[in-house]
Chains A and B, each alone.
Chain A
Amino acid sequence: MPALIEAKNVTKIFGGGLLDKSRTVALKDFSFQIDSDNPSVTSIVGESGSGKTTLARMLLGLAAPTEGEVLYNGKNLEKLGGSDRRQFLRDVQVIFQDPFEVYNPFYRIDHVLETPIKNFKLADTEKGRRDLMIESLEAVGIRPEEILGRFPHELSGGQRQRIMVARALLLRPKLIIADEPVSMVDASLRATILGSLLRLNREFGISLIYITHDLTTAFQVSEDIMVLYRGSLAEAGDVDQVVRHPEHPYTRLLVGSIPLPDPDLPWEGERAIGRPAGELGVQGDEYCQFHDRCPYAMPMCVQTHPPLFHTHPNRVTSCYLYRESPELPMPQMTSIFKSSNREGPPEETEQLDALDAELEVSQENSSTPTSADD
């Protein structure tokens, strides 16, 4: 059975030809797939310019890869026919970063929920429509009577983002791609939004791709993680192992730079900003993207791009420090993910119990918001 969605050796280049200075390789030779049978939660982590949003846009069919292809149920996304395309638009939903810009300020909140119901003919009657809306709002912990009939400006960023989650849920998709869904939301509301996303995964079997620059929340919500650096995969695998014992020097730097909320834990970063260009004699564009910042850079790092080394059953690292380990071809990368190696849904965690308790509390406590609340 083909994967629900698969990126096959995709490369995305912005800008002109080889000699064009503005040519930017946003993502290079990247492969990745999401199964339809095993609902998974996968994080894609990287800084600005790492290619994480470019990857999301290609998986959504919003940008076409320069090389390689994106397949949906085994068919090329760019060549999907009418009914397949409709099914794709239903199966794969997205939640964007900015909960303020996605709403049309002239329409009531109901509009954003009614539109998909009408477009996909999810309900025939007015009552059916209303029931669907109420059901999915309640699933994300929002009291329908508090928000239906209101205008976007009357709601807080956290509420708006949760309504986006509810909108995605209406369509019962197989996959939700969330691109920085909490980066514009207050810290105290982040947990609630991520919680409602996790709930969709556990209760409705929806896979999640969580795209973020924040390693801490990625660690909290996902099973598997991919760390991107300047368009290439640096490291991927089981989130516990990658975050707690990072291998790639870039991941180590990233983990060390996180200011942890405990004054007794160390905070270490990178004081020197790069080594002089050309010190290692870079030729062509086949090199490790991190070599100019890497404390362990070796001559081989600038000769060929490091392949993926299969360092542990559940992880790979694209770094020559691990060249003793067997290589794993990029297209097989996803096979190391925990989600690909288990039967059925992920284990129940205490996270979810805590979440249920919390959602109940927030249902009871949340009072009517006013426009002045943020």
Chain B
Amino acid sequence: MVEETLSAEEPTAAELKETLKVEDLHVYFHTAAGAVKAVNGVSFSLKSGERFGLVGESGSGKSTIALSLLRLIKPPGKIEGGHVFLNGTDLVTLTEEQMRRKRLDEIALVAQGAMNSLNPVRRIRDQFILAYKDHDIDVKRSGLEERIGDLLTRVGLNREVANMFPHELSGGMKQRVCIALAISLSPSVIIADEPTSALDVVVQWQVMDTLRSVQEDLGASVILIGHDMGLMAQFVDRLGVMYAGKLVEIATVRDMFGDPLHPYGQMLIASLPSLESRKARLEGIPGITPSLLNPPSGCPFHTRCPKVMDHCSSVTPILQEVRPDHWVACHLYEEA
């Protein structure tokens, strides 16, 4: 059963084309102890060419969203309800075969561990060819070598990398290969799930710079998933904050860092270390993330919230646009 927390209307400016639209998505993992509500009523949308970030602690459901958008959730996980419209088609209703064709072609994933997602016994070229074969693109065509070379150059690698095996590449190079693979069929949405969390900071910049340039070339939208607020501040246009399976705040990156509204968003921003001043408080967020098996009633953050009110534990706040382009799910901002 999908619980009836009616999410509000779409948090976007209507004049721009929406590439992706997620409506009231529910993803549960069915365990012996009961259903773990990993994603519990999430709605957001993505404009064409936009970079959107999803942040949250581990277990907040952000990676589950990434996999759900690609329909890669495996049992015991299941999409229990909601819609994912990609260029007008609801992915949730597609057959497995229809969905397989959408992947890479329209929506692609750059996963977290680059080193694990490449086949270790295949040359880089073969990994591209496999992808093409899967999408019925004639792999014998003479232009193929050219095309793979172009893709590799586009992500800042030499054409010769096509002849190499994954173990001959560094972590940063492998992640670039993964980006090249992801863009090989010019998708309109690229999902990057912590694409740099295993990389050093200098290499991280290079990989993100590459991602940004190919995304701008293609005019694709990007969903960047992660917990590094610095990376979000520097990369995305708009940011959504996840907490315990729900989106609690969506705002432009400037509003989010300059004027966060949700108490969780405020504490998250306040706990960021900076290079400005050593006097900054070494402040964490007290308490622990609630169990998704038995999420707290009402607002999921009420157990840790410094501004908790009486009805927070009973009434679930709805994500509402309280300022232009700034959405928040908190009773503090509801009109009396």
Kindly count the residue-residue contacts between A and B in the assembled complex, taking CB atoms under 8 Å apart.
160
Tell me whether B303 is interfacial, beta carbon within 8 Å.
yes
Instruction: Check A191 against B205 for contact (C-beta < 8 Å).
Output: no
Instruction: Check A373 against B201 for contact (C-beta < 8 Å).
Output: no
Instruction: Check A261 against B201 for contact (C-beta < 8 Å).
Output: no
Task: Point out residues on A near B: beta carbons under 8 Å.
Answer: 47-48, 156, 186-192, 194-195, 198, 213-217, 219-221, 239-240, 243-244, 253-255, 257-265, 267-271, 273, 349-351, 354-355, 358, 361-362, 364-367, 369-370, 372-374
Instruction: Check B58 against A374 for contact (C-beta < 8 Å).
Output: yes
Chain A residues closer than 8 Å to B229, beta-carbon distance: 187, 261
Tell me whether B253 is interfacial, beta carbon within 8 Å.
yes
The contact of B281 among A215, A254, A354, by CB within 8 Å, is A354
- Interface hub of B200, B228, B254, B303 (most chain A Cβ within 10 A): B200
* Partner-contacting stretch, out of B39-47, B123-131, B142-150, B269-277: B269-277
How does the 8 Å CB contact mask read for B288-308 relative to A, with 1 for contact and 0 for none? 111111000000000110000
Chain B residues closer than 8 Å to A239, beta-carbon distance: 278
Interface residues of B in 15-56 (CB under 8 A from A): 33, 36
Known: A259-B230, A354-B282. 18 other contacts (CB 8 A): A188-B268, A190-B284, A195-B284, A214-B201, A216-B273, A220-B273, A220-B282, A257-B204, A260-B230, A260-B233, A262-B257, A268-B205, A273-B156, A358-B282, A366-B286, A370-B291, A372-B293, A373-B290
Chain B residues closer than 8 Å to A366, beta-carbon distance: 286-288
Chain A residues closer than 8 Å to B132, beta-carbon distance: none
B interface, size bucket: 35 or more
Chain B residues closer than 8 Å to A263, beta-carbon distance: 233-234, 253-254, 257
Chain A residues closer than 8 Å to B275, beta-carbon distance: 215-216, 219, 243-244, 255, 258, 260
Query: Could you write out 15 A-B pairs with CB less than 8 Å apart?
Result: A191-B271, A239-B278, A259-B208, A259-B231, A259-B233, A261-B230, A261-B232, A261-B274, A349-B278, A355-B282, A358-B282, A365-B286, A369-B288, A373-B289, A373-B290
How does the 8 Å CB contact mask read for B212-238 relative to A, with 1 for contact and 0 for none? 000000000000000111111111000
Task: Point out residues on B near A: beta carbons under 8 Å.
Answer: 33, 36, 57-59, 156, 200-202, 204-206, 208-209, 227-235, 253-254, 257, 267-269, 271-275, 278-293, 303-304
Instruction: Check B289 against A259 for contact (C-beta < 8 Å).
Output: no
- For the complex formed, measure the closest distance between the CB of B320 and the CB atoms of chain A, giving whole angstroms: 24
- For the complex formed, measure the closest distance between the CB of B228 and the CB atoms of chain A, giving whole angstroms: 7
**In chain B, what residue has the closest Cβ to A255?**
B275
Instruction: Check A240 against B284 for contact (C-beta < 8 Å).
Output: no
What separation, in Å, do the CA atoms of A230 and B213 have in the docked complex? 30
